[in-house]
Amino acid sequence: MSEHNVRTVTVNQIGYPVSSRKTALFRGQTHHYRVVEAQTGTSVFSGETSAAVKDGSSGAVVRAGDFSAVTAAGRYLIEAEDGTVSAEFVLGERPYEELQKGLLKAFYFYRCGVELGGEYAGPWGHAACHLAEGAVIGQPGLRLDSSGGWHDAGDYGKYSGPGAKAVADLLLAFEWYPEAFLDALTLPESDGRTPDVLLECRVELDWLFKMQDAGSGGVYHKLTTAGFPGLEVMPEDDTAELFFSPVSAAATGDFAGVMAMAARIYEPWDKAYAARCLAAAEAAWRWLEQHPEEPGFTNPPGITTGEYGDEENRDERFWAAAELYRTTGKPSYRAAAEELIPLPFPKYSLGWGDMGGYGTLAYLLAGEERTDDTLHRSLLAGLLAEADRLAAVSQQDGYRISLREEDYIWGSNMLVMNNAMLLLAAERFSGEAAYAECALDHLHYLLGRNVLDISYVTGYGDRPVRYPHHRPSVGDGVAEPVPGLVSGGPDRGLHDEYVREHLQGKPAAQCFADHEASYSTNEVTIYWNSPAVFVTARFNRGSLQG
């Protein structure tokens, strides 16, 4: 179909807060539209679209329809002049409450080493998996307990750095927006007292403890089988031998950072646990001090699972030092963080490989009273400048997000949500509501207001992803995929056979296939879910302003 004939009306398929700016985005030639009550078909608003934007990333001609004037809570859809209709959506005070619960509950579904069953799992249960001890590469004869934690993704590997990013996002979400975590999930451990998000993160933290070498304090990079199992293999049937890959500086820095964060956040709930987290973080820090020059991690011979290679580990060291400083107030950690700040590594990234942003947040929050201090001022100015850049890109973008064409990489939806997190950090430090509005536009994209008219969260929205590259969803015999999983999203690099065959020549934001074979566009991971929990929590805590 030529672009000229394609017409879609896209919305956030979950909905919009009644008090927010509400915009639908139209692809193709639409000038008039109506907002219609879904139940009755009654038209409640008619509007004109804005001037067309020719959007490079999506290859679409995009017009906007602002229906902020509609303020009555309810269920609606949008109808364009040619009869094209949008997905249904709600306008409500807190439209994202169920979504946030689903995004968080996804971590329960990623659990390893325990049976998922009964009321907790619905039809998506399975038996306990990966209970065998793992062999430690490079240490013949040594076998260690490796059970527990979360699977990384559509595969069953468990990787220390990505696990630390996922926990960090969830703990930060709880720390910044505690009001959004009052509702209970259904978890086996729920005790009516401890917030469920802390119970769920403890699953991963308990596993991370096992990734730390007891003698040196260094942290094993990953724990996986030698290769990936077949796509239909359920976790309990994946019984190949497990291997601990060697300690890396990146994993050790990430471990120190997340454990220092956990020590602070679990303190009011469980002092003994907090103390254990802090001791583990400090042991990891000592390893980092004793290993100032470490090469980046590469897969050992014979291991072909995810590498998560990372040449640059000054960002992980910075996160570790800054987070330890924030938690303990010790001058030695402050000095260590400040020695690293002037060095040229990314300070505002929140990816699995670039953790400098977590260090920056920790450093800024550790010294909120030190706003005159030069390093503090320059880091804060840098953060705001980066947020301004993201906001400027979003303003030019047809679908109002901060990704440029070259940013549609493997896991682009992580960038969408990480960028929204950074915008929300800018909101927190500056008090400017415009940053939050821009972050909310990113959530709208994830939930369907994109050129493909697809909600990238399984089970959420009228037109969600249905065939993720997720082994349990493929192998469990249940028609619907495990719910609440964030798909990786468009990757213009066409990194798997399926998309190379089907998507040649597509614009960046259309390089996505809702097909289980497309691991480079439609896999799911814990660290794509976690920033989405953070962003959703922000908009569940109450009003848009404040």
Residues of this chain that bind ligand 9MR (CB under 6 A): 153-155, 228, 231, 306, 519, 523
Question: Residue 514 catalytic?
Answer: yes
What's the closest the beta carbon of residue 414 comes to ligand 9MR, in angstroms?
Answer: 13
What part of residues 404-463 is at the interface with ligand G3I (CB under 6 A)?
A: 406, 409-411
d(CA 229, CA 241): 11
- Chosen from Zn ion, ligand G3I, ligand 9MR, none, partner binding at 196 (C-beta under 5 to 8 Å by type): none
Considering only 15, 157, 235, 353, the residue that binds Zn ion (CB under 5 A) is 235
Yes or no: say if 190 and 167 are a contact pair by the CB < 8 Å rule. no
Dmax over CA atoms of the chain, in Å, equals 72
The two beta strands, 134-136 and 243-244, are parallel
Q: For Zn ion, which stretch binds (CB under 5 A), given 22-30, 70-78, 231-239, 478-486?
A: 231-239
Among 276, 314, 495, 502, binds ligand G3I (CB under 6 A): 495
CB of 222 to ligand 9MR, least distance (A): 13
- The dihedral region occupied by 488, where left means phi > 0, alpha psi between -120 and 50, and beta the remainder, is alpha
Q: Which is nearer to ligand 9MR, 152 or 316 (CB)?
A: 152
Q: What is the DSSP letter of 369?
A: T
Backbone φ and ψ of 54, nearest 5°:
-90, 115
Beta carbon nearer to ligand 9MR, 59 or 468: 468
Can you give the length of the chain in residues?
546
Are the C-beta atoms of residues 438 and 423 closer than 8 Å to each other? yes
Closest Cα to residue 199, out of 297, 85, 96, 114? 114
φ, ψ of residue 212 in degrees (nearest 5) = -90, 130
What number of CA atoms fall less than 13 Å from residue 19's CA on the CB side? 10
CB of 156 to ligand 9MR, least distance (A): 9
Nearest to 47 by CA among 71, 26, 66: 66
Provide, rounded to whole angstroms, the least separation between the CB of residue 530 and ligand G3I. Answer: 13
State which of residues 306, 357, 367, 490 lies at the interface with ligand G3I (CB under 6 A): 306
Catalytic residue among 200, 213, 323, 523: 523
Q: How far is the CB of 306 from ligand 9MR (least distance, A)?
A: 6
Q: Are strands 143-144 and 74-80 parallel, antiparallel or unpaired?
A: unpaired
Residue 427 appears among annotated catalytic residues:
no
Q: Could you say which residues in the range 73-132 bind Zn ion, by CB under 5 A?
A: 112, 129-130
In whole angstroms, give the CA distance from residue 456 to residue 434. 25
Q: Which residues pair with 243 in a beta bridge?
A: 135, 224
Which residue in 152, 238, 310, 476 binds ligand G3I (CB under 6 A)?
152
* Active-site hit among 155, 386, 397, 427: 155
Among 444, 469, 470, 515, the active-site one is 469
31 is known as an active-site residue? no
User: Is 523 a binder of ligand G3I (CB under 6 A)?
Assistant: yes
What residue ranges bind ligand G3I (CB under 6 A)? Answer: 152-153, 155, 157, 306, 406, 409-411, 493, 495, 519, 523, 525
Active site residues per annotation: 155, 469, 514, 523
